[in-house]
Structure 1
Amino acid sequence: MSKFVKEMIISEIESRIGETRDFVVVDSAKLDAITDNNFRLKLHEKGIAALTVKNSLARRAFANAGVEGMEESLQGPSTLVWGGEDIVALSKEMSKWAEEIEDLTIKGGSTEGTSLTSDDVEKLSKSPGRMELIGEIVSRALGPGAQLAGALLGPAGTLAGQIKTISEGEES
């Protein structure tokens, strides 16, 4: 492959990954064409992109884009997977697919410059996602306020009911 073609491929990889810094690397080389196509279509429906790359060109593209931590994962046949809500959602999706398709193996990944092994990706898939954590934080923050409001409104509601009963009794 000529240097010009290599540079074109590297720039194409850079343009596809854009500002993304969270990746999972899988080995999908053993998949038949139909399974691989269905796999990619289902990922695309969820906003996840997959790109099979030549490792040396991907390393150069990542170096140019400032993405670190991918060297260990880029060994042998590699398909880069990125997108989705966050790295946890991406890990959950890839772990689900690795269970469904026995020939698909997770090799590792990278998140914010930290290298991930296949075990790390598996552990991430079992942790709560971004939206789940935000919901948990909000519920914990609102919990004491809700309890305080309930404590204040309880006696006030009782007092209002008694005043209403007394006022209705005076009218009749």
Structure 2
Amino acid sequence: RAVADSRLGPMFDKQDGSVAVLWGCDDFVSLAKELAELVKSKEFEKFELKGGVMDGESLTAEKVLEISKWPNRLEQISLLVGQILGPGAGLSAQLLGAGAKVAGQVKKLIENKEGEA
């Protein structure tokens, strides 16, 4: 066995016959999303998802399909950036809103004083 001593070993312990291996590099979730699309595809009706390996842990086909519903790497980064920037944007809006209100009141007072003169 070519992968017996590797982190992929657990996936092939119970497999026999022809098996295709798909490599997900840094983003396993995106690979799982693509596999879920293949499972649903009418073009690849004979495609059968048998499972996967993530961080050396063997996964069932159902677990791979569950992982396909997670946010991928890019989506996670955008969620994180949104969470980081959100409070600052809220604070900025509150400060600018209050400042604009005060500036509007000062302008109205000036206009009233000019109108009296």
TM-score computed with the length of structure 2 as normaliser: 0.76
| Mapped partners of 2:7, 2:49: distance in 1 | 19
| Mapped partners of 2:74, 2:49: distance in 1 | 24
Structure 1 position 71, deviation (Å): 2.6
| Higher percent of residues as strand | 1
Q: Quick one: which amino acid aligns to residue 77 of structure 2?
A: I
Correspondence for 1:107? 50
Q: Could you list the runs of 5+ residues in structure 1 that have no partner in the other structure? A: 1-55
Q: Quick one: which amino acid aligns to residue 93 of structure 2?
A: G
TM-score computed with the length of structure 1 as normaliser: 0.55
Q: Which has the larger radius of gyration?
A: 2
Q: Does 1:90 align with 2:44?
A: no
Correspondence for 1:159? 102
Structure 1 position 127, deviation (Å): 1.7
TM-align CA RMSD: 2.6
Q: 5 Å matches for 1:119-130?
A: 119-130=62-73
Per-residue displacement from partner, 1:52-103 (whole Å, max 9, x unpaired)? xxxx33x24xx2xx42432346432100011366111101101111221110
Q: How many residue pairs end up in the alignment? A: 112
Structure 1 position 149, deviation (Å): 1.5
Q: Does 1:142 align with 2:85?
A: yes
Q: Does 1:117 align with 2:74?
A: no
